[in-house]
Amino acid sequence: MATIAEENAKDHKSISVAEFFERNKHLLGFENDQKSLLTCVREAVDNSLDACEDARILPTIYIELNQLDPTHFKLIIEDNGPGIVKQNIPNIFAKLLYGSKFNLKQSRGQQGIGISASVLYSQLTTGKPTKIYSKIGDGNTHIYELNINIKKNEPDIISEMTVDGDGHGTRIELYLKGKYIRGKQSVEGYLMETAIMNPFANIVYINPEGKQLEYPRAVDILPKAAESIQPHPHGLELGILMRLMKQTESKNLTAFFTTELSRVGRGNAVDICNRAKINPKTNPKRLSRDDIEKLLDALNTAKIAKPPTDCLSPVGEDAIKKGLKKEMNPEFIAVMSRPPTVYKGYPFQIEVGIGYGGDLSAEGPISIMRFANKVPLLYQQSSCVIAKSVIKLGWKRYGLKQSTGSIPLGPVAVTVHMASVWVPYTSEGKEAIAAYPEILKEVTLALQGAARKLSIYISKKHKSKEAEERLRAFDIYAGELCIALSDLTGIDAQKIQTSLKQVVADKIGDTSIVLHGKGMEIQTNNNDNYNLSNNHDNNSDNDNNSDNDNNVDNDNNVDNDNNSDNDNNSDNDNNVDNDNNTDIHTKPISNIFNIKSVNDTTVTKSDKKQLSTAKDNPQSRLDIFNSDRTKNATETDETSE
């Protein structure tokens, strides 16, 4: 008679990674219909952007979402990337943990799961295969219909064919179950934030209502390409080091350290071996676990330079400004880019952009937009180090209203981007960044730097408003005052006018005073400016609290920032964007009397994204897939910006 253990052993088996995620699809972001729809769009768009950047092609992406019934959709995504070679198409789209992103360089994807997980979700919810078109510039279009073999985690090819077709690019058609919504966590919200942090991309989107939304390209230069690097010694763990030594082709430890680890020279390698009391000529494959542990201890205490930062591809301050201006149209933009640094041996860099006023809503809390490797993070905000840093900053000293422990209020949009070779997400869904101390410090320092510039602008705007109010009060009585003084003293009203003009000129600047009835119009000459900055703002960078935040170490890159601590420098700060190219600090006062003031002037609205139906505007698809043999679509031309 079999024992209980033997009976239980009959049920023991292994499952494929595809079968695991079939049962646990919520780990990949497929938690509900609303989020599942967004996740499929996000994974496909991220793949398109990565492919174009790697090939150094300015991306043009077309997205179409057709609603088949209340809960089912057809998703179409095209791009002008390099395409995919025929033999790799099945594995890329129908095999989980297959891809080209397992090296150490910045990219949107990190796990080789994203787009294949979308195919898996489509298969689970509709039972229909996914259709792929690919052109690589060889005059052919390769077309596949495929599913995933769940048991084997292998492609299950339904059909394949090759037809004629010029150009290059990729097109995906998949069916899925979902829920279409509007708002921040919608497809439109995701695409808007993607357009901000990827201003080099041109995106066209047809929503389920048939309306076309365009997110035009704002810059014509791609970010610098990221280069792959070797693992840094300070980021290694014992198991990883043991695996690397078993797999190495190096014949001795010196060669292993200098060729397979980053920033380790021959001198460092010999010194590390000596401190571990191991011969540098020893073959790594012959070392015991204890020997490798001694080497790891020596590595962690050795003085080794930080890893190279050419593995990063930051967006850039100018591109962030243009992206914010294009999509949100604030009246003022401040940006701050921190120098690259390291956490656990992984290089990373923080970039911050803050927009104020303009088309931004003055009601409610500020808008916080989080990005990791240029990808918007729309969920789990409270768990993310970025949101925690924003709330903890203390915005009152920068001119905004904020209750303790809450998001500040005001017409402000804050964008925070983390660029890294390995983003420490809190879950497989890639929605929030873990709060490592090094990351928390860098995010806080970058926010402080940009917030100081915002504080200077808000302070000067308040001073300008106060000056205008004083001049308005003066204007009420100025005309009567000149006439009354003339009646009392017998002095000609024009002489009194001249003297009064001089008083105003001494306080404000050279003016032209014109008597008209019981009021007086004071106009500043166009070449003369008045200055409102005789006193430094208590909320600006002379505030002792701003540079000595309890949560952040003093950093010379922030505290000695030439763009922050001096009012005279702030007006020439290249990182501060003002619609009028004139700091409010020196704004002419030509419109003080009888003309709308600065604060009364209506801010010009940015051109809203043009909405039109796909039927009315057939220019909605890229040219690369316009063959009747490859898809049933209206013949169209590429959308012009």
Q: List Cα–Cα distances, 124 to 22, 36, 44, 45, 159, in angstroms.
A: 8, 12, 18, 21, 19
Q: Which residue from 622, 459, 482 is spatially nearest to 546, judged by alpha carbons?
A: 459
Q: What is the DSSP string of 326-376?
A: HHH--SEEEEEEPPPEEETTEEEEEEEEEEESTTS-SSSBPEEEEEETTEE
CATH 1.10.8.50 residue window(s) in the chain: 233-301
Locate 278 and state its tokens.
């191991």
Buried b (16+ CB within 10 A) or exposed e, 349-371: bbbbbbbbbbbbeeeeebbbbbb
Identify whether the C-beta of residue 460 lies closer than 8 Å to the C-beta of residue 535: no
Nearest-5° angle of CA 457, CA 463, CA 466?
Answer: 145
Alpha-carbon gap, residue 434 to 424, rounded angstroms:
6
Q: Report pLDDT for 392.
A: 93
Identify whether the C-beta of residue 333 lies closer than 8 Å to the C-beta of residue 306: no
Locate 356 and state its tokens.
């104020």
Query: Distance from first CA to last CA of the chain, Å, rounded?
Result: 78
Identify whether the C-beta of residue 515 lies closer than 8 Å to the C-beta of residue 497: yes
Q: What is the DSSP string of 310-323?
A: TT-----HHHHHHH
Q: Which CATH number fits domain 233-301: 1.10.287.70, 1.10.8.50, 3.40.30.10, 3.40.50.720?
A: 1.10.8.50
Q: Report pLDDT for 507.
A: 67
CATH of domain 317-452: 3.30.230.10
Alpha-carbon gap, residue 502 to 588, rounded angstroms:
17
Beta pairing partners, 131: 145, 173
Locate 47 and state its tokens.
């793949």
Alpha-carbon gap, residue 417 to 375, rounded angstroms:
9
**Residues sharing a CB contact under 8 Å with residue 399, sequence separation 6 or more, in sequence order:** 454, 455, 458, 459, 462, 539
CATH 3.30.230.10 residue window(s) in the chain: 317-452
pTM of the model: 0.75
Q: Report pLDDT for 559.
A: 39
In 565-624, which ranges are E strands?
A: 576-578, 612-613
Helix, strand, coil % over all residues of the chain, rounded to 5: 35, 20, 45
Q: What is the DSSP string of 357-369?
A: STTS-SSSBPEEE
Identify whether the C-beta of residue 463 lies closer than 8 Å to the C-beta of residue 413: no
CATH 3.30.565.10 residue window(s) in the chain: 17-215
Element at 18 (helix H, strand E): helix 17-23
Identify whether the C-beta of residue 169 lies closer than 8 Å to the C-beta of residue 47: no
Alpha-carbon gap, residue 392 to 287, rounded angstroms:
48
User: Which backbone phi and psi does 391 adopt, to 5 degrees?
Assistant: -65, -35
Chunked into runs of 10 residues, the chain (641 residues) has average pLDDT values of 82 86 86 93 94 95 96 96 95 87 78 84 95 95 95 94 94 95 90 96 96 95 91 88 92 93 91 93 93 93 88 94 95 94 90 95 93 94 94 93 91 96 86 93 96 93 80 75 86 83 65 40 39 38 42 42 41 44 34 33 40 41 45 37 32
Homologous superfamily (CATH) of 17-215 is: Histidine kinase-like ATPase, C-terminal domain (3.30.565.10)
